[in-house]
């Protein structure tokens, strides 16, 4: 049995959470994947996976083996990619994290342009709204929106993102149009539950930023869903322009309280300082900064 292939198969099964998922990733049959893992366990003389009817669990030995196998596979991939880059080829894997809605609407066109120039680079894109730890979770790049925390990471600004309060014409006809943030207390507000400072919106009043807290009628952890809820007349929503403006163009949403909206949020690309940065990572950083400078500048 090819030990490296068995390691790759084992890792794929664990990352996918099932033999079927691992088989799909690798383009193999379920039976072949199951057989390779079983043979690997037999050769090692330990049980790596505890199988139940619902899911797989790593044993203590499996966790230890996975850490070592993943490190070896990544080092091998890095070595092979580095040799290719010495020949002028840009290849290998880049692991990137970005907020879900921004990733779908804004990042994918930029990655498409990069992929067309560098088809040998494999992109592993993770879209989720939690704040990932770039170093601990082994990401090469992270896209972050809003104020940045102090850290050792390098930050490059990609764009600024305008924010607006939106409501549907039907909602305003039924509940009236607020003329001042003070009036939010008497309106139905939709809250993005992953917002770090809770249910409040910040506005510029008399030239100074002020927070206005409210009791939301609905909370949700997805910005697109909140924009859709507002389009259906369920309440007011405070969202980035890339989510709201398409609905404005369709006549489903209009701007509210624009005289008080705060400055746009910054969108940043974060990465760790390296003595020797792989060419593929340099190329992607340059491509993303260039794309957003041209498209959003």
What pLDDT is attached to residue 265?
A: 85
What pLDDT is attached to residue 4?
A: 80
What pLDDT is attached to residue 52?
A: 67
42 Cα distance to chain centroid: 38
* 142 and 281 share one domain: yes
* 252 and 291 share one domain: no
How would you classify the pairing of strands 92-98 and 237-240? unpaired
Distances (CA, A) of 9 to 2, 20, 70, 80: 11, 11, 11, 19
Q: How far apart are CA 25 and CA 252, in angstroms?
A: 40
* 156 and 167 share one domain: no
* 54 and 181 share one domain: no
Domain boundary among 83, 108, 141: 83
Q: Are 73 and 15 in contact (CB under 8 A)?
A: no
* 157 and 167 share one domain: no
What pLDDT is attached to residue 253?
A: 97
* 133 and 219 share one domain: no
188 Cα distance to chain centroid: 29
Distances (CA, A) of 191 to 195, 215, 240, 258: 8, 9, 13, 18
What pLDDT is attached to residue 134?
A: 82
| Domain count along the chain | 3
* 148 and 196 share one domain: no
Looking up residue 232, the CATH number of its domain turns out to be 3.40.190.10
The total of other beta-carbon atoms located within 10 Å of residue 260's CB is: 20
Looking up residue 76, the CATH number of its domain turns out to be 1.10.10.10
189: which DSSP letter? B
* 132 and 174 share one domain: no
* 133 and 222 share one domain: no
Domain boundary among 57, 83, 109: 83
* 283 and 150 share one domain: yes
184: which DSSP letter? G
* 79 and 101 share one domain: no
**Among 151, 130, 152, residue whose Cα is nearest residue 143:** 130
What pLDDT is attached to residue 63?
A: 85
Q: How far apart are CA 39 and CA 131, in angstroms?
A: 39
* 72 and 46 share one domain: yes
Per-residue pLDDT tens digits of the chain, which is 297 residues long: 577 888 888 888 887 778 888 888 777 888 888 888 888 888 888 888 887 656 778 888 888 888 888 777 777 766 665 665 555 567 788 889 999 989 998 999 999 999 998 888 889 899 988 888 887 777 889 999 887 776 788 889 999 989 999 999 999 999 999 999 999 989 999 999 988 788 999 898 888 889 999 999 999 999 999 999 999 999 999 999 989 999 999 999 999 999 998 778 889 999 887 667 788 888 999 999 999 987 665
Domain boundary among 66, 83, 100: 83
What pLDDT is attached to residue 3?
A: 79
Tell me the residue range of the domain where 57 lies.
Answer: 3-83
């Amino acid at each position: 049995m090819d030990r490296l292939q068995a390691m790759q198969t084992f890792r794929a099964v664990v990352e996918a959470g099932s033999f079927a998922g691992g088989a799909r990733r690798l383009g193999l049959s379920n039976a072949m994947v199951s057989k390779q893992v079983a043979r690997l366990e037999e050769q090692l003389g330990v049980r790596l996976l505890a199988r139940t009817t619902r899911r797989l669990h790593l044993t203590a030995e499996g966790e230890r083996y996975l850490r070592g196998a993943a490190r070896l596979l990544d080092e091998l991939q890095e070595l092979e990619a580095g040799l290719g880059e010495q020949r002028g080829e840009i290849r290998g894997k880049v692991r990137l994290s970005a907020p879900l809605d921004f990733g779908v609407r804004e990042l994918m066109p930029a990655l498409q342009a990069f992929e067309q120039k560098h088809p040998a680079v494999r992109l592993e894109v993770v879209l989720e709204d939690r704040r990932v730890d770039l170093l601990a979770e082994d990401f090469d790049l992270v896209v972050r929106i809003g104020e940045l925390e102090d850290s050792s990471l390098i930050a490059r600004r990609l764009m600024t993102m305008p924010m607006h309060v939106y409501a549907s014409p039907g909602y305003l006809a039924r509940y009236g149009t607020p003329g001042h943030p003070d009036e939010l207390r008497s309106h139905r507000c939709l809250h993005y539950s992953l917002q770090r400072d809770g249910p409040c919106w910040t506005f510029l009043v008399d030239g100074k930023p002020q927070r206005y807290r409210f009791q939301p009628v609905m909370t949700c952890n997805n910005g697109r869903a909140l924009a859709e809820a507002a389009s259906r007349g369920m309440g007011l929503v405070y969202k980035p322009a890339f989510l709201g403006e398409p609905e404005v163009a369709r006549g489903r949403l209009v701007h509210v309280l624009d005289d008080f909206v705060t400055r746009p949020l910054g969108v940043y690309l974060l990465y760790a300082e390296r003595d020797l940065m792989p060419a593929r990572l340099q190329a992607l950083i340059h491509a993303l900064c260039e794309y957003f400078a041209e498209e959003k500048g």
